[in-house]
Structure formats: structure tokens, C-alpha cells
């Protein structure tokens, strides 16, 4: 049986572990990050003027969930907003559907660069709702294209500090974000051994970061979801 290290939050790893087990792959669970609420007073300053924005832009399903939790508490009706919604990919768009937003813009290339480059110029004012660790690429490209951009941390990402040693003989590691790469390096004592193992990444940003951190065998799945990564992993490792 293939053994694969998974590196998400605790909740995310439960979901991914179940996905792997259904494919007869053994997950080796390494929780790397935790999510927590932001300083809502800072967030509320933007949500209180939500009517002024033309676009609300989300780069993760987690951002959607924290956003919805807060707008419900503030009793802000989403149905009457003039703003359009944009999602970096299908999973984020699905999260928006779950809160009642049936239509959202999804770029043809499911990356922050793709989202920034393709966002339609239908109104200029944009609110980016993302984590405290998000990079500035999305913001910078939108600004360069002439949008007026505000950004707010709608949730916080923290790294788990407890160290672990991986003793299982791994066939692969899965990374869904640069934060997971950083969190994995932070937690694993025998990290240099891990850098020789094939890593399957969601998206070029994650892959580039993994490469910069010394991982040598990097594969990017064509479909940039965890389902796509699992499919690619099985195709390459089980059938090659």
C-alpha cells in the first residue's frame, strides 16, 4: 500500500485522509497549520462599507466560511449586494454556493495570478478577503491593472510548533499551499530526508515554494484540487 504524508490543518487532513483511504492509500497525517478568527474590529471596518465594493474576491473556501460567519453576526444581507463575487477556483466557488452565491467569477487558470489577470473590469473597487499569510501578488497585479484594492485578513493561519519525526517509509507528500510547505518544514525533525521524496503540489505557487525550500522531485497536478492531486499521485506512483 502506498504511504503518503498529508500536511493540511486537522480538519483538512481528515477530509484528505478519507479521500486517500478510499483509493487504498495509507495517509500519514502531519497537521501543520491551524485556523483562527482575526481581529474582527479590523474586518468590520471593511464589512460596514461592503456596499461600496464592485468585487468581493476570495482565494480559499476557508475565507468564504469566515466571511459568512461574520456577515451573519452583523446581519448583512448578501442577496442585495451590488458587488459581484470572484473565486480562485472551483472549491472556493462551491463554498460560495453553499452560502447562497450561485454565480461567481472563476478564472480559466485557477491561481491567484490567473484571478488577478482575468478579473473583469466591471467596476473598480475590490475587496480581497484572505488569510494573514497571503502573498501580495494578487493585490499588486490588480493595482497594476487599475483597480482600487482593499485587503483584509478574514482569518489567521498559525503554524503548529510541536516537533515530530517521520519514521514511515513514504512514497509521497502532498502540499496544498506554501503555508503547508512551511508548516511541514517547521514540524518535521528529519526534514532533510523528506526532501528526497516526491511531492505533489496544488498549483505553481506551492510548487515554486517547495522547490525553493529544497524539495527535489516536484509534481503539479493538472487539476488544481486535492481530488486532482490524488488522481495524479495514483496514476504516477501506482501505474508507472
Q: Which of 96, 127, 157 is the last residue of a domain?
A: 157
First-to-last C-alpha distance (Å) of the chain: 15
Q: Are residues 18 and 59 both part of a single domain?
A: no
In angstroms, the Cα distances linking 12 to 132, 164, 176 are: 18, 19, 10
The reported pLDDT for the residue numbered 225 is 87
CA distance 232 to 222: 8
Q: Are residues 40 and 153 both part of a single domain?
A: yes
Q: Are residues 72 and 121 both part of a single domain?
A: yes
Backbone dihedral region of 164: left (phi > 0), alpha (psi from -120 to 50 degrees) or beta?
beta
Q: Are residues 141 and 164 both part of a single domain?
A: no
Q: Are residues 27 and 70 both part of a single domain?
A: no
Whether 204 has a pLDDT exceeding 90, the answer reads no
Q: Are residues 48 and 95 both part of a single domain?
A: yes
Name the band, by pLDDT with cuts 50, 70 and 90, for residue 240. low
| Range of the structural domain that residue 218 is part of | 3-32+160-239
Contacts of 69 (CB under 8 A, 6+ apart): none
- The pTM of the full predicted model, rounded to 2 decimals, is 0.89
Q: Are residues 140 and 200 both part of a single domain?
A: no
Q: Are residues 164 and 153 both part of a single domain?
A: no
The reported pLDDT for the residue numbered 126 is 98
Length of the chain: 240
Q: Are residues 42 and 102 both part of a single domain?
A: yes
The reported pLDDT for the residue numbered 144 is 96
Whether 60 has a pLDDT exceeding 60, the answer reads yes
More confident residue, 238 or 147: 147
The reported pLDDT for the residue numbered 210 is 97
Average of pLDDT values for 166-177? 94
Name the band, by pLDDT with cuts 50, 70 and 90, for residue 116. very high
The reported pLDDT for the residue numbered 239 is 58
Q: Which of 128, 157, 186 is the last residue of a domain?
A: 157
Average of pLDDT values for 171-182? 96
Q: Are residues 194 and 217 both part of a single domain?
A: yes
Q: Which of 157, 180, 200 is the last residue of a domain?
A: 157
Count of domains observed in the chain = 2
Q: Are residues 44 and 134 both part of a single domain?
A: yes
Q: Quick one: CA dihedral 135, 203, 200, 227, positive or negative?
A: positive
CA distance 185 to 95: 29
Whether 36 has a pLDDT exceeding 80, the answer reads yes
Q: Are residues 201 and 101 both part of a single domain?
A: no
User: Which domain CATH number covers 113?
Assistant: 3.40.50.10090
Encode pLDDT of 10-32 as tens digits.
999 999 999 999 999 999 999 99
Average of pLDDT values for 146-153? 97
Average of pLDDT values for 74-82? 91
CB atoms within 10 A of CB 73: 11
Quote the mean pLDDT of the chain: 94
Amino acid at each position: 500500500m502506498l504511504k503518503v504524508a498529508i500536511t493540511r490543518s486537522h480538519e483538512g487532513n481528515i477530509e484528505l485522509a478519507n479521500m486517500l483511504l478510499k483509493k487504498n492509500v495509507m495517509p500519514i497525517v502531519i497537521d501543520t497549520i491551524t485556523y483562527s478568527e482575526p481581529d474582527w474590529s479590523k474586518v468590520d471596518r471593511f464589512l460596514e462599507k461592503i456596499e461600496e465594493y464592485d468585487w468581493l474576491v476570495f482565494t480559499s473556501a476557508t475565507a468564504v466560511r469566515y466571511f459568512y460567519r461574520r456577515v451573519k453576526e452583523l446581519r448583512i444581507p448578501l442577496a442585495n449586494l451590488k458587488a459581484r463575487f470572484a473565486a480562485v477556483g472551483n472549491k472556493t466557488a462551491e463554498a460560495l454556493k453553499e452560502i447562497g452565491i450561485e454565480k461567481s467569477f472563476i478564472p480559466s487558470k485557477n491561481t491567484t495570478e490567473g484571478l488577478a489577470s482575468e478579473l473583469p473590469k466591471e467596476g473598480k473597487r475590490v475587496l480581497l478577503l484572505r488569510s494573514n499569510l497571503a502573498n501580495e501578488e494578487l493585490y499588486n497585479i490588480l493595482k497594476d491593472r487599475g483597480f482600487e484594492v482593499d485587503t483584509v485578513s478574514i482569518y489567521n493561519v498559525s503554524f503548529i510548533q510541536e516537533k515530530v519525526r517521520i519514521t514511515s517509509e513514504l512514497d509521497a507528500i502532498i502540499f496544498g499551499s506554501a503555508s503547508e510547505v512551511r508548516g511541514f518544514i517547521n514540524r518535521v525533525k528529519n526534514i532533510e530526508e523528506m526532501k528526497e521524496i516526491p511531492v505533489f503540489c496544488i498549483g505553481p505557487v506551492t510548487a515554486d515554494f517547495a522547490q525553493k525550500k529544497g524539495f527535489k522531485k516536484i509534481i503539479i497536478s493538472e487539476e488544481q484540487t486535492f481530488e486532482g492531486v490524488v488522481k495524479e499521485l495514483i496514476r504516477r506512483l501506482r501505474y508507472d
